[in-house]
Every structure is written in C-alpha cells, then in structure tokens.
Structure 1
Amino acid sequence: MTIRARLRAFAAFWYDFVVGDDWRAAFAVVLALGVTFVLGRLSVNAWFVLPAAVAVVLPWSLWRAVRRR
C-alpha cells in the first residue's frame, strides 16, 4: 500500500467518522463550535451553546432520518 493510498484511506475514515450520514448535522456542530469560540473570545460565558445545539440538532437529525424511511 502506497503512502498516497494510506493518506486517502485516513482522510476517508475521518470524513466518514465526522460527517457520517448527515453533513447538515456535522455542519451545525461545527457552527456551534465556532459560535462558542467567538463568544469565548469576547469574554461571554458561552457554556450553553453546545448543549443547546445538541438539544436542537439531535432531534432534527433523527426526525430527518426517520422521515426518509
């Protein structure tokens, strides 16, 4: 196995692990992380952003998955 094939397999693993079946949910989590970072840099207490994002994104993602079937 060449180094290029190994790098491609490594990237494919991480893409599948992070994005999985729903790129919209992965994008929403990355967006929530970005909002948390920005609020933290502005010295705002931003602990609530990620739990709120999970509370919204998880049911939304499940609803979309069930609706597809």
Structure 2
Amino acid sequence: MNIAALARTFARFWYAFLVGDDWKIAASVVAVLLIGLALLLAGAASGGALAALLGVLLMAGFAGALLLDVRRRGPH
C-alpha cells in the first residue's frame, strides 16, 4: 500500500468518525466551539457561564438538526 492510499484511508476514517451520518450535527458542534473560543478570547464570559451557554447552544444545534430531518421527511 502506497502513502497516498494510506492517507486517503486515514482521511476517510476520520471523516466518518467525526462527521458520521449527519453533517449538520458536526457543523453545529464546530460552530458552537468557534463561538465559545471567540467569547473566551474576548473575555465576555466566565468559565461556568461559558460552559452553560455552550451546552445550551449545543442542545439547540442538535434540536435544529433533528427538526430539519423530521420536517424533510414529513408525515408517513
């Protein structure tokens, strides 16, 4: 196995592991982490308040991804 094939296999594994079946959830996690980093660097929130805010934002992102999937399928 050459290096290029090994690199492709490695990249496919990590993509499947991190993104999985739903890219919307992975995107919401990345967005929440970037928001948290921006708030932390700006000094806008303390550790506990920031953790609570990020938890709420993560739950909202998961709920939004779920609503998009449910709305797309519609009633059976």
TM-score, with structure 1 as normaliser: 0.78
| Larger-gyration structure (1/2) | 2
Look up the SS of the partner of 1:47 in the other structure: helix
Secondary structure (helix, strand or coil) at the match of 1:14 reads: helix
* Structure 2 gaps, min length 5: none
Q: Which residue of 2 aligns with 1:17?
A: 17
State the percentage of identical aligned residues: 37
What are the within-5 Å matches in structure 2 for residues 1-69 of structure 1? Answer: 1-43=1-43, 44-45=45-46, 46-64=50-68, 68=73
Counterparts of 2:58 and 2:67, CA distance in 1: 14
Structure 1 residue ranges, 4+ long, deviating more than 2 angstroms after superposition: 57-68
**Bigger mean CA deviation after superposition, 57-66 or 27-36:** 57-66
Task: For residue 47 of structure 1, report the CA deviation from its aligned partner.
Answer: 1.7
Q: How many residues align?
A: 69
